[in-house]
Structure 1
Amino acid sequence: MPWQQHPRWSRRAPKDGARGVSDESGGLYVLQGNRSLAFWRYDIGADGWEILPDVPAGPAGRPVVGGSDLVHVRVDDEAHVYLLKGRTGEFYRYDIAAGEWQELPAAPVGIKGRWDRGSWLVHDGMGTIYAHKARYTRSMPEPHHELWLFDVRAGSWEQAARSGLPLIGWHGNRRRAKRSRDGSGAGWFDGAIWSLKGGNSQQYFRYDPGRNRWHEEEPIDSPGSANRRRMVKDGGHFVAYPRGRAFYALKGNKTVEFWRYRLAPEGWTPGGGQSVAGQLAEERFSVGPNPVRGASVRLNWNLAAERSVRTSVFDAAGRLVKRLELGSARGGNARLDISGLAVGTYLVRLDGSHAPTQKLVVQR
Structure 2
Amino acid sequence: MIKRVGQVLVLSGLLILGGVVNVKATSFDYSETAEWETGVFNGVTGESSAGEIKLRSAGEWEQRAWQTPELPLTTGTAIESDGEYVYVLAGYDTWFARYHQATNRWEVLASAPYSAGYGSDMVYLDGYLYAMFGGYQKEYARYDITNNTWTELADTPDLVYRGGSLATNGTDIYALHGNSTTDFWKYTTSTGEWSMLTGTPATINYGASLVYNDGYFYTLRGVSTNTMYRYSVAAGTWSTMTNMTAVIAEDSHAAIRGAYIYITLNGNTTTMYRYDIAGNSWSTMAVLPQASRYVGSVYNAIDDMIYVFRGNGTYEFWKYDPDTDGYLGPVDMTLAPGSGSDLVYYGGYIYQPRGANTTTFYRYNLTSKTWESRAVAPAAFNDDTTGVVAGSYLYFFQGSNTTNFYRYDPAADSWATMAVAPANVNYGGSLAYPGSGDYLYATVGGYTLKHYRYSISGNSWEDTPTDLPNNSEASYGARLFSDGTNLYYVSGSRTGFLLKYTISTDTWSEVASLPYAPYWGSDAVYWDGNIYIQAGYYKGQFWRYNISSGEWLYLDSLNEYYGYHQGAYNGGALVVDTINAILYSAVGASILNMASYSIDANDYLASGTWISPVEDLTYVTAWTSLVETATKPGDSSISYETRTSADKVTWGEWTAVAGTTIGSSVNRYIQVIKGM
From 16, 31, 50, give the equivalent of 2:89.
31
Q: Which residue in 2 is equivalent to 1:88?
A: 137
What residue number does 1:296 align with? none
**Which is strand-richer, 1 or 2?**
1
DSSP 3-state at the match of 1:135: coil
Where 1:194 maps in the other structure, the secondary structure is: strand
Q: Using the alignment, how far apart are the partners of 1:263 and 1:117 within structure 2?
A: 25
- Could you list the runs of 4 or more consecutive aligned residues of structure 1 that deviate by over 6 angstroms after TM superposition? none
Q: Within the alignment, does 1:186 sit opposite 2:231 as a pair?
A: no
- Is the 2:241–2:280 contact (alpha carbons within 8 Å) kept by the matching residues of 1? no
Q: Is 1:31–1:38's contact at 8 Å kept on the other side of the alignment?
A: yes
Partner deviation per Cα, 1:265-291 (whole Å, 9 max, x = no partner): 371111166489xxxxxxxxxxxxxxx
Write out per-residue CA displacement over residues 81-129 of structure 1, whole angstroms, 9 at most, x where no aligned residue: 01011021200000011110011011113xxxx211111001001x210
Does the alignment pair 1:232 with 2:248? yes
Work out the CA distance in 2 between the residues paired with 1:164 and 1:4: 41
Q: CA deviation at 1:7?
A: 2.9
% same residue: 25
1:180/1:3 CA distance change after superposition, 3 Å: farther
Matched, 1:103 2:152: yes
- For residues 18 and 238 of structure 1, what CA distance do their matches in structure 2 show? 13
Which residue pairs with 1:305 in the alignment?
none
Question: How do residues 125-164 of structure 1 correspond to structure 2 at under 5 angstroms?
Answer: 125=170, 127-137=171-181, 145-158=182-195, 161-164=196-199
Q: In structure 2, how many angstroms separate the alpha carbons of the residues matched to 1:106 and 1:36?
A: 19
Q: What is the DSSP-based 3-state SS (H/G/I as helix, E as strand, rest coil) of the residue aligned with 2:210?
A: strand
**Inter-partner Cα distance in structure 2 for 1:251 and 1:21:** 18
Q: CA deviation at 1:264?
A: 4.1
Q: Does 1:249 align with 2:263?
A: yes
Distance 1:123 1:150 in 2: 9
| Aligned counterpart, 1:71 | 123
Q: How does 1:257-336 map to 2 (within 5 A)?
A: 257-265=271-279, 267-271=281-285, 274=323
Query: Conserved in 2, the CA contact under 8 Å of 1:204 and 1:218?
Result: yes
In structure 2, C-alpha distance between the alignment counterparts of 1:155 and 1:261, rounded to whole Å = 33
State whether residues 198 and 236 of structure 1, in contact with CA within 8 Å, keep that contact through their aligned partners in structure 2. Answer: no
Change (3 A) 1:70 1:3: farther
Q: 5+ residue gaps in structure 2?
A: 1-61, 287-321, 326-676
Q: 2:45 corresponds to which residue?
A: none
One-letter amino acid of the structure 1 residue matched with residue 174 of structure 2: Y
1 CA distance for matches of 2:233 and 2:280? 25
Aligned residue number for residue 51 of structure 1: 108
Residue 180 to residue 123, structure 1, CA distance change in 2 (3 Å): same
* CA distance in 2: counterparts of 1:247 and 1:136, whole angstroms: 23
1:14 aligns with 2:87: no
Rounded to whole Å, the distance in 2 between the matches of 1:32 and 1:208 is: 32
Secondary structure of the residue aligned to 2:173 is: strand
SS in 1 for 2:177: strand
Please name the residue that 1:304 is paired with.
Answer: none
How far off its partner does 1:48 sit? Answer: 0.8
- SS of 1:150's partner is strand
Higher mean Cα deviation, 259-268 or 147-156? Answer: 259-268
For these two proteins, the number of residue pairs brought into alignment is 228
TM-fit CA distance, 1:233: 2.3
Which residue of 109, 120, 123 maps to 2:165?
A: 120
| Alpha-carbon offset, residue 221 of structure 1 | 0.5
Q: Deviations over 1:19-46 (max 9, x none)?
A: 111101x21111111x111001100111
Partners of 1:182 and 1:103 in 2: CA distance? 26
Given candidates 230, 236, 241, the residue that maps to 1:206 is 230
The answer (yes or no) to whether the contact 2:138–2:155 under 8 Å persists in 1 is yes
Structure 1 residue matching 2:66: 3-state secondary structure: coil
Deviation at 1:235, TM superposition (A): 4.3
TM, length-normalised to structure 1: 0.59
SS of the residue aligned with 1:115?
Answer: coil
2:178 is paired with a residue whose SS is strand
Instruction: Measure, in 1, the Cα distance between the counterparts of 2:129 and 2:252.
Output: 22
Aligned equivalents of 1:69, 1:184: Cα separation in 2? 11
CA shift digits 1:295-318 (9 cap, x unpaired): xxxxxxxxxxxxxxxxxxxxxxxx
Aligned-partner Cα distance in 2 for 1:235–1:91? 20
Q: Distance in 2 between matches of 1:42 and 1:88?
A: 27
- Identify the structure with bigger relative contact order (alpha carbons < 8 Å, sequence gap 6+): 2
Residues 28, 43 of structure 1: 8 Å contact kept = yes
Q: Match of 1:291?
A: none
Please point out which of 211, 215, 233 is paired with 2:239: 215
The answer to which of 85-94 and 267-276 deviates more is 267-276
CA deviation map 1:221-261 (0-9, x unaligned): 12xxxxxxxx212243312212xx11111111221111111
**RMSD, matched Cα:** 2.0
In 2, the alpha carbon distance for the partners of 1:204 and 1:217 equals 5
CA distance in 1, matches of 2:204, 2:99: 29
Structure 2: which amino acid aligns with 1:200?
Answer: S
Unaligned runs of 5+ in 1: 58-62, 138-144, 168-178, 223-230, 277-364
Using the TM superposition, give the Cα deviation of residue 3 of structure 1 relative to its aligned residue in structure 2, in angstroms: 7.9
Q: Secondary structure at 1:20's aligned position in 2?
A: strand
SS at match of 1:134: coil
Paired letter, 2:148:
G
TM-score normalized with structure 2 length: 0.33
Residues 34-86 of structure 1 show CA distances to partners (whole Å, capped at 9, x for unaligned) of x11100110011111000011113xxxxx211111000001xxxx10010110
